[in-house]
Amino acid sequence: MKCKDLKNIIPNYIANELSEKQILEFNNHINSCEDCKRVFNKLKNTLDLLKPRTDIEEQAFYFTRLKQKMENRANPRESIFVNLLSRKIVQPMIYLSSLIIAVYIGILIGSSTVPNGQNQISDLNDDEKNYIKTYTEYQYLNDFEIETIENLLIDEDGLIKE
């Protein structure tokens, strides 16, 4: 049997539709030709994967768990009043109180008040005040505050540039 003929009858072999003589030739060729054996095994494995599975594993206690879930839905544990009270009143009150507390803490942090009506800057000594003044004089946001626009337009002799 030739390789081409064998490849054409592989589906018939798998379906057991060959005669005794063809099955014998097929087996002899598969045992002697590695390429045909590889093709046959790949095709057989593919077809085995495509077959529907009939053996579904039995899950222990599946029916009892399903029955319990159905009973729990039919008989709710909490009364409607407790459920309504907790969802419609208690939850919003908790959210509102936490929001009010957060805003209050934010106001306290932002106000930065000093006890006894003291001013924070007055607590600095003269050396610290001079340092802060010097630091702020040299920290400008742009270069125009350091050198004015008029200085750019006037040359070294004091004349306006053209």
Is residue 161 situated within a structural domain?
no
Torsion-angle region of 104 (φ positive above 0: left; ψ -120 to 50: alpha; else: beta): alpha
Picking from 95, 111, 127, the residue at the C-terminal end of a domain is 111
Each residue's pLDDT, cut to its tens digit, for the chain (162 residues) gives 788 888 888 888 888 888 899 999 989 999 998 998 999 999 888 888 887 777 667 778 888 888 888 888 877 666 667 777 777 888 889 999 999 999 999 888 877 655 555 555 555 666 776 776 776 665 554 455 555 566 666 666 656 655
Is residue 160 situated within a structural domain?
no
The pTM of the full predicted model, rounded to 2 decimals, is 0.34
Q: CA-to-CA distance for 47 and 44, rounded, in angstroms? A: 5
Which DSSP string corresponds to 132-145? Answer: HHHHHHH--SSGGG
When divided into structural domains, the chain yields a total of 3
Domain ranges, residue 123? 118-152
Q: For 88, which DSSP code? A: I
- Helix, coil or strand: residue 139: coil
Picking from 96, 111, 126, the residue at the C-terminal end of a domain is 111
The 10 Å CB-count burial string (b at 16+, else e) for 8-39 is: ebbeebeeeeeeeeeeebbeebbeebeebeeb
